[in-house]
Structure 1
Amino acid sequence: MESIYPRRIPMLGNLTGTGWTVASQESILSLIVVLGSSVSLVGLIFAFITYSLFSDLRTMSGTALMYMLANMFLTQLFYVVGVGGVQEDNLCLCLAFGIHYLRLAIISWLCVMTYDMLITFRNNVNLNPRPEPVNVLISRFVQYSLFAWGMPSLSVIIASIMRVMASHQVVDNLNPYNCWFFEKTIYNVTFVGPALCCFLIIMVTLIRSWLTIRATVGLQVNKKSRLKMHKKRMLQLHLYVKIATLLFAINVFGSAARNKSPDTDSIAWIAYNVGHSLQGILVALAVTCNCQVLKIYTKSFAKKRWRRWTRNGSEVALFDKRDNDISDTTYLQNLTWEPVPLPV
C-alpha cells in the first residue's frame, strides 16, 4: 500500500510555499486512512464482543446493532483491500458489489433499530417494560431481517442487471474509486435512492420517537419516575441520532465525490475517505461508552466483588475479588498461613 491514492488526489495548492507536494499529501492521507481503518476494525470488534457478552444488551435493538457492527466491520475491511489498488478487474468488481451490499445493509439495520425503538416506546408506557411473548419477538425479528437483508440484496441484483445491460464504454473504471463506486447512473439509482429513502424513514422515526417520549413521560405520576424514564429513553434516542448523523454525512460526501470527478472535487473525496476510515471507531465509542453500557459494566463488576458463596459449609462474603484470600469467616484455620512460611 505504498501508493494508496495514485492518480486520484490533485495538488491542493502550495499551502506553505514549498513544503507541500503531491507525494507528501498522498503519504499523509494514506497514513490517515490505513491507521483510521485499523483502529476502526479493532473498535468494532470490541463493541461487538461487548454486546455479545452482556445479556442485558442482547435485546431486539441490541441484536440489530450487532448486525450493523458486523456489516460495518466487513465494509471497513473490504474498503481497505480496494484502497490498496486491485489489478484484477473481476476482483475489483466483486469488492464493489460487496461494499455496495454492506453499506446498504448498515443503513437498513439502523432503520430497523430506530423503528424498533419507536415500537418499544409506544408499547411500554411504564418505566419498567413488560416482557413480550417469544413468538412475537421471533416474528418481529424475522420481519426485520427480511427488510435489512432483502433490500440490499434487491439493490445489488438491480445494479448487476444494469451493469450487464450497459455498454463497456459507458461504465467507468472502478479502480480510481477504490473498487466501490459504480457508474453514476447505477450508483444513483441503486444506492443513493434506497439510502435516501432509509434516511428519510430514520428521520421520521426519530421525530416520532421523541414525541412518544414526551407523551409517555407526561403520563408518569411520580416525578422521580418521569426524570428516570426521560433520561433513559433520551439516551437511546441521542445514540441513534449520533449514528444516523455520522452515516448520513459520510454518504453525502461519497455522493458528492462520485457525481463529481475526484480531480475536480478533491475536498469531498478526501472527506469521504477520512470519514469512512474513522466511522468504525466513532460508532464503537458511541455504542460502548454511553451511560447504559457503563452502568452494566459497573453492575457486572459489583456482582463479582460482593458475590456470596459457600466454603466449608459456611457462607462467605468477599469484599473484593482481588482480596479473595481474606474472607469474613470465624474459622481460625482460614486465618493461618498455609503452607507455613520458612523461618528467617
Structure 2
Amino acid sequence: LQFCLVVSLCTSSVLYLLGPFVETVPELCKVIAILIHYAYLVTFMWMGVIAYDMYRTFSVSVQISTRGQKQLVRYCVFALTLPATIVAVALIMDSVGDDGSFKPKYGAYVCQITNHKANLLFFAGPLACVILFNIVMFTMTIIALIKSWKQSNLARNDDGYHFDVYFKLFVIMGFTWIFGFIGPFVHEAFMYVFIVLNASQGVFLSVVSVCTKQVIGELTNCNFSKRSYQSGQNTELTKI
C-alpha cells in the first residue's frame, strides 16, 4: 500500500511540475490539468485506503485471513475508480455549453482547475472527506489497540512497529493538507508552511518507509560484519 501511495504521489508531483511548461499549448495543458486532478485524487484515495487498512490490521474484530491479494485488488479498484468517477463528472460539467458556477475550466490559463467553486467541489471536497475519514479510522484504531493490549500482551512490539509507521504516514499525508485548508482563512504564513511540508512529502515518506529501526539495525549489523571480516583478513595477512 505504501508503494502504491508513493507511485501516485510521484506521478501527481511530476505532472504538476510539467504543467507550467505546456501552458502555451492549450489542448495539452487541458490534458495535463485533467491528469493532475485524477492523480491527486488517486493519492487522496490511497491515503484513505491506508487509514482503513490500519484499522483492519489492529482491530480485534477483523479476521486477518481476509487479507491478501484479493484485498489489495479491492483497494486498487476503489482507489482508481472513485477518482475516475469524480473526474468524469467534472468533465461532463466542463463540457456543458453555459458558463456554470461549477464548471472546472481545465487549463483555462494554468494547467489546473481554474474555477474556484469547481476546485472546492471536485478537489478540496474529496480531500476534506478523506482527512475526516482518516481521523475517524485513526481514532478507531487507537481504541482497538487499547482493547487488544488489555486482553493480551502478545506481539506488542510488532504492533507498535506497524502502528508507528502508519501513524507517521497518517500525520504526513493528512496534516500537511490541513495547512492548505486553513491558510487562506487564517494567515498567509500558513500557506508557506503548507508549501514547504507538502514539497517535502517525498523526503518524509523515504524516512518513514526506509529509515526504520529494522533497516538501520540491519545496516549496522552489515557494517559490523564487514568490519569484522576485514579485520580478520588483515590479521591473517599480518600472520603471513
Aligned equivalents of 2:190, 2:95: Cα separation in 1? 29
2:74 maps to which residue? 143
Aligned equivalents of 1:100, 1:271: Cα separation in 2? 22
Aligned equivalents of 2:218, 2:239: Cα separation in 1? 37
- Name the structure where helix makes up a greater proportion of residues: 2
Structure 1: unaligned runs, 5 residues or longer: 1-63, 307-317, 329-333, 338-344
The alpha-carbon deviation at position 100 of structure 1 amounts to 1.3
The alpha-carbon deviation at position 297 of structure 1 amounts to 4.2
Aligned equivalents of 1:233, 1:174: Cα separation in 2? 46
The alpha-carbon deviation at position 210 of structure 1 amounts to 1.0
Taking every aligned residue pair, what percent have the same amino acid on both sides?
A: 19
Number of residue pairs the alignment of both structures matches: 237
Aligned equivalents of 1:319, 1:199: Cα separation in 2? 49
Aligned equivalents of 2:148, 2:197: Cα separation in 1? 37
Aligned equivalents of 2:215, 2:16: Cα separation in 1? 29
2:13 maps to which residue? 76
- 1:289 is paired with a residue whose SS is coil
**Counterpart code for 1:248:** G
CA contact (8 A) 1:85 1:175 kept: no
The alpha-carbon deviation at position 252 of structure 1 amounts to 3.9
The equivalent position to 1:201 in structure 2, one of 123, 133, 136, is 133
The equivalent position to 2:152 in structure 1, one of 193, 200, 220, is 220
- 1:194 is paired with a residue whose SS is helix
- 2:76 is paired with a residue whose SS is helix
Q: Deviations over 1:294-320 (max 9, x none)?
A: 345456x38x939xxxxxxxxxxx953
CA contact (8 A) 1:162 1:186 kept: no
Structure 2: unaligned runs, 5 residues or longer: none
CA contact (8 A) 2:131 2:174 kept: yes
TM-score, scaled to structure 1: 0.56
CA contact (8 A) 1:117 1:209 kept: yes
Q: How does 1:160-171 map to 2 (within 5 A)?
A: 160-165=91-96, 167=98
1:158 maps to which residue? 89
The alpha-carbon deviation at position 79 of structure 1 amounts to 1.5
Aligned equivalents of 1:271, 1:99: Cα separation in 2? 22
The alpha-carbon deviation at position 250 of structure 1 amounts to 3.9
CA contact (8 A) 2:23 2:29 kept: yes
Cα-Cα RMSD:
3.8
1:291 maps to which residue? 213
Aligned equivalents of 2:151, 2:25: Cα separation in 1? 62
Aligned equivalents of 1:279, 1:336: Cα separation in 2? 53
Aligned equivalents of 1:174, 1:232: Cα separation in 2? 48
Residues 119, 319 of structure 1: alpha-carbon distance in 2 compared, 3 angstrom cutoff = same
